[in-house]
Amino acid sequence: MAKLKCITLLLFSALFSAPAMADNNVNVRDGRPCMSGVCAGDEISTLAGIKWQAAKTNFGRPIKQNDKVDVKSLLMNFAPSAADTVKAAGPYLLSNSFDGQAIPKLAKLKGFCKPLYFTGLEGHFISDGGYNTEVHINVVPGNAPSSQTLQVKRISRLYSSSGYTNAQMDELSKQLEERYRGVRRGGPNQTEPAWSFETSGVGYDRMLTLWAPMISGIQVNDQLMAYPGCGKSLKID
């Protein structure tokens, strides 16, 4: 048993190795679960210190700064005032992805009239232990009509069972419970952050997912449509 725990501790350390410049000592920040220095609910401007993998187009090649995009088509989901920032961030919006080069452009982006499609923009970084970490961001409306920010909505990491026993994975689950003590375990809801560690795929593979609150889609749509220039007047005649 002592040998099993020792191996599991080594596994735990490797799985959670952080990329350079990330504060790996923070497991929970203001009630929000974190992984390798990235926390559910973080604003995009705080993510610049992560070594992100290069974002790719829908055709699988790295995004280039001079990639042409149909700005007119993208602006259908933005206020007219956002034209310049939409053009600058266009290649990333089109590919539903982001990286370190995209962050300054996306941080300036305002005027969302709708949430980003599907799971938002997806970014990846590799931990020092070699584990791919997937981060999804989407727009979150603020208290005022003109207040909105891109925030981390979900963080996921797949832990392959290759070379490890089911008992080791179960022990890792117990250590995660200690790490995220005080944070609700389970799927996302509308009011509080959460974390889950569930079986994924074949065998003992496990997926660790950190969730920010998932606001109702109808509520988000209504709040974003209140941004100046987004909504339209509705008349009987």
Q: Dihedral (C-alpha) 194, 135, 91, 220: value to the nearest 10 degrees?
A: 0
DSSP-based three-state secondary structure for 22? coil
CA distance 179 to 35: 10
CA distance 120 to 122: 6
Pick from 18, 53, 20, 21: nearest CA to 35: 18
Tokens of 99: 């990286």
Q: What's the full length of the chain, in residues?
A: 237
Residue 69: predicted pLDDT: 86
Q: What is the gyration radius of the CA atoms in the chain, in angstroms?
A: 20
pTM passes above 0.75: yes
The strand pair at 148-159 and 121-126 is best described as unpaired
Residue 23: predicted pLDDT: 55
CB atoms within 10 A of CB 148: 20
CA distance 167 to 165: 5
CA distance 13 to 188: 26
Q: Which amino acid is at 28?
A: V
CA distance 33 to 100: 22
CA distance 199 to 205: 6
Residue 20: predicted pLDDT: 39
Tokens of 22: 């990330």
Tokens of 123: 């970014």
**pLDDT tens, the chain, 237 aa long:** 544 444 444 445 444 444 434 456 689 999 999 999 999 999 999 999 999 999 998 888 989 877 888 889 999 999 999 999 999 999 999 999 999 999 999 999 999 999 998 789 999 999 877 889 999 999 999 888 889 999 999 999 988 878 788 888 888 889 999 999 999 999 999 999 999 998 776 666 889 999 999 987 788 999 999 999 998 767 777
Q: How far is CA 213 from CA 180, 191, 197, in A?
A: 16, 5, 17
- Between the two ends of the chain, the Cα-to-Cα distance in Å is 77
Residue 48: predicted pLDDT: 94
